[in-house]
Structure 1
Amino acid sequence: MGKKSLFGLALATTAVVLSACGNEDNHYYSIATASTGGTYYPIGVGMGNLWTEELIDQGIRATGQSSAGSVENIDLLRKEEAQFGILQGLIADQAYRGTGIYEGSAYEDLRTVTMLWSNVEHFVLMNNKIESGTISDVEGTSFSIGPQASGTEQSTRALINGIGLSVEDVSPDYLGYDDTISSMRDGRLDGGSLPAGVPVTAITDMYASGVRATVLDVTDEQLDSINELYPVFFRYEIDAGTYPRQEEPIYTIAQSNVLGVDKQQDADQIYLLTKILFENLETMYEVHNSAREMTLETALVGVSVPLHLGAYRYFVEQGIDIPNELIPPEAEEDEQE
């Protein structure tokens, strides 16, 4: 059974359970995440558990569901098969604006709730292929750009294009993280892209097992060039010692993983869910280390898609300065009522 079928089966099962309760005031929210082995899934499940535990007396239940990741999550939101989706910032931006893989099919009803955690870019390359120590060194190498149709593939293409190269300038492979490091260890691959929350298990394994490879830096000039095309990236420093035998900081970049939602979702409900989330961050921190990046101060970092009206109301209430581009178009109508 495919991942979409499993997602649909999970939703159908939950719908049956809720209908059996016989309460028309029940609200069920599915949170589309990614595969069970990544970070999206445990954080989505933890968020669903939090909302359910805090709001079950109000008829609210939420569940994290596995999926194929950001690209499928956009599709699930469009089809109303999921009410929330954890999204790579780049994918959310492209979907909303109708660029990249969404050219001609913009999802203008997409809104965001908050930044969740940083998706940190890790371009790794065998040491014998390194010249400048920056991501431009991937030119002419055999390089995994991530599984086909994945968020990793899209972000890798964005970074390569952003520095004036194209995938044709490398010999691309389409591997997952563990397979990338394994192929490098066996001498079948020069490098690969492994964006994720720090630390990345596969890269810890790379350093610990003696693979003679390094995570490449991204210069300020490269960051500016990338953001001219894809304005969702920001500076991120990986501290020395984060990985075994990593003696120097790594000056890379990151994009935000964001919580996406359709604008049609009820504003009062989204306000309540946003409020509960931020009033119980300590619970989320216990779910996964990456969740510790979630704070009111960082809620809008790397977010480029307008906020949902409910989340917007909450952040205004908390005194957060909302950039004009993140104010939902619905806010003006809301203020006139």
Structure 2
Amino acid sequence: MTKQLLAAAALLIGSNASANETLDFSMGSISGNTYAIGVQVAETVRANGDYNINVKTGGALGNLIMIGRDQAQFGHSSSGLALAAYNGQEPYEQRMENLRGIAKVMESSFQFLTLENVPIDSLAELREKQYPLKIAVGPRGRENELLSRRVLEANGISYDDIRDWGGRVEFISISDANSLIRDGHLEAVTILSGLPYAPVVEINSARQLQMLPLSDETVTTMQEQYGYTATEIKASTYEGIDSPVPSVAGGVVLVTNSNVSAETAYQLTQAVCSDQGRDRLATLSGSISSYLASIEACASGIGIPLHEGAERYFSEAGIVQ
């Protein structure tokens, strides 16, 4: 994050207590893109109205709980988690039907990567051969692990199956997986991220990877049951992976709740999706810049119903009816 954004964050956290409306933003870590998004949006909204805004750190899974309980009024998550929270699906125990969408700002693509010398070319072949795969799927309770498990289950494979075949399933971060793959202790990893993802580039530079495609049936299941979208990871996204790979993607979405006024939700949406808003956010990362090329991108694939204020903004822009 730039020094200017950090300075702005400090001003926002200590902002005018006599403002007409107080909003708490729950974003990601202070060094990450989503926190910077929160700072940018807060600056714009405060300039256009009488708001006291606190930008706080959080996480994609927990932010939805905070927003659903009205302990925060705005934050980031993913389209898949937002839909799960709205419907009361795993990892959420209760429905949060008051969640509402504002915009989508990035896409994260699911990547199922194995070392090139692993003798399987698909998940169907993994099952047929009962290959003893040694794989890292991310920490338990995170979206990456949840999606990895669902993709495997859609192909008739459980974690217990992999263990029964002589393989391993590790619930570790990508940085830990990197070390274990380099050392020969693991041979596969899953990740849900923007493209290209630097840790994958790093692994691939040391040990050549291949990416397993998702079948049409798996993609359809992820779409219909869990709210992901079909995508194709372009050839040469990573060196040595020379063909496009079918997969699914989830959006990095900005969310509020139905208690937030229509006018405030309108201001939040405008701060993100106007030409000026998209230009400001595009300076934060290449992933945001490449995705937010149009206002249409802002309104697509959010996963949950739009807030009425966001709906009004997109309607005025001719995006939704």
Question: Normalising TM by the smaller chain, what interval?
Answer: 0.7 to 0.9
* Aligned-residue offset at 1:304: 2.4
* Aligned-residue offset at 1:120: 0.4
Residues 62-211 of structure 1: matches in 2 within 5 Å? 62=53, 64-67=55-58, 69-103=59-93, 105-134=94-123, 137=126, 140-170=132-162, 171-209=168-206, 211=207
Amino acid at match of 1:44: Y
Tell me the residue number matched to 1:311. 310
Tell me the residue number matched to 1:334. none
TM-score (norm. length: structure 2): 0.84
* Aligned-residue offset at 1:269: 0.8
Q: CA RMSD in A?
A: 2.6
* Aligned-residue offset at 1:257: 1.9
Contact 1:268 1:310 in 2 (8 A): yes
Contact 2:103 2:273 in 1 (8 A): no
Q: RCO greater where, 1 or 2, for CA within 8 Å and sep 6 or more?
A: 2
The secondary structure found in structure 1 opposite 2:117 is helix
Tell me the residue number matched to 1:326. none
Contact 2:45 2:271 in 1 (8 A): yes
Contact 2:12 2:53 in 1 (8 A): no
Is residue 276 of structure 2 the alignment partner of residue 285 of structure 1? no
The secondary structure found in structure 2 opposite 1:297 is helix
Amino acid at match of 2:208: R
Return closer, same or farther for 1:86/1:59 CA change in 2, 3 Å cut-off: same
* Aligned-residue offset at 1:310: 0.9
Contact 2:40 2:281 in 1 (8 A): no
Determine the C-alpha separation between the residues in 2 that align with 1:36 and 1:111: 24
Gaps (5+ residues) in structure 2?
Answer: 1-8, 163-167
Percentage of identical aligned residues: 22
Gaps (5+ residues) in structure 1?
Answer: 1-10, 323-337
Tell me the residue number matched to 2:4. none
TM-score (norm. length: structure 1): 0.80
Return closer, same or farther for 1:190/1:24 CA change in 2, 3 Å cut-off: same
Tell me the residue number matched to 1:55. 46
Amino acid at match of 1:32: M
> Which among 221, 235, 245 is matched to residue 225 of structure 1?
221
Return closer, same or farther for 1:291/1:79 CA change in 2, 3 Å cut-off: same
Matched positions, count:
301
The secondary structure found in structure 2 opposite 1:128 is coil
